């Protein structure tokens, strides 16, 4: 909104245009409203930006949740492939932690509390970033492995 978009009020003394929120004229300093105040009922309308941010935050939370569960499953299968020794303590520690973090991210993104929403968004962003980097590293290792196999099959 620019200054020219504001409604104006003409000063009864000098005729200068003032914005409608001014109490006195900007030129002659005479009062613009003399006992003509009226109350206006206003309704607070939430901006569309907040709705878009909320949808973005919830989408990011879902993406972070999927990455967190995927990483947990991959690590569990990796541990099962090497040995069964540490799988029970791992599952007893990691699964409740993953459930708690996921619940916080998903419920916090839908919360009315702005602090909780921001914390949830920050945690979701951290989890999504770390998960994406790890997935890219895994994809790079797989691509390098496939490239090495291709080179070995040529010779």
Give 31-42 as a DSSP string.
BS-SS-------
Q: Select, from the ranges 33-47, 49-63, 75-89, the one with the highest average predicted confidence (pLDDT).
A: 75-89
Query: Domain residues of the chain, as ranges?
Result: 7-37, 55-154
Give me the percent of the chain exceeding a pLDDT of 70. 84
Confidence of residue 144 (pLDDT cuts 50, 70, 90): very high
User: How many CB atoms are closer than 10 A to CB 152?
Assistant: 8
Residue 19 has what pLDDT?
Answer: 83
pLDDT value at 62 more than 60: yes
- Give the model confidence (pLDDT) of 67-115 as tens digits: 888 888 888 887 777 777 778 888 888 888 888 888 888 787 777 788 8
φ and ψ at 38, to 5 degrees? -135, 145
For residue 31, the cross-strand partners are: 24
The pLDDT value recorded for residue 126 is 84
- Which pTM does this prediction carry? 0.49
pLDDT band at 28 (very low <50, low <70, confident <90, very high): very high
pLDDT one-digit tens code per residue, 7-20: 888 888 898 888 87
Among 78, 127, 77, 133, smallest CA distance to 100 is for: 127
């Amino acid at each position: 909104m620019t200054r020219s978009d504001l409604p104006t009020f003409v000063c009864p003394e000098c005729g200068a245009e003032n914005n409608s929120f001014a109490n006195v004229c900007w030129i002659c300093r005479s009062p613009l409203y003399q006992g003509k105040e009226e109350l206006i009922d206003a309704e607070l309308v939430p901006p569309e930006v907040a709705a878009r941010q909320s949808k973005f935050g919830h989408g990011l939370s879902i993406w972070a949740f999927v990455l967190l569960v995927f990483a947990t499953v991959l690590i569990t299968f990796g541990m099962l492939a090497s040995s069964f020794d540490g799988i029970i303590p791992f599952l007893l520690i990691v699964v409740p932690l993953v459930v708690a973090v996921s619940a916080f991210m998903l419920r916090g993104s839908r919360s009315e509390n702005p602090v909780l929403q921001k914390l949830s968004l920050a945690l979701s962003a951290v989890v999504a970033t770390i998960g994406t980097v790890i997935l890219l590293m895994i994809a790079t290792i797989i691509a390098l492995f496939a490239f090495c196999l291709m080179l070995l099959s040529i010779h």
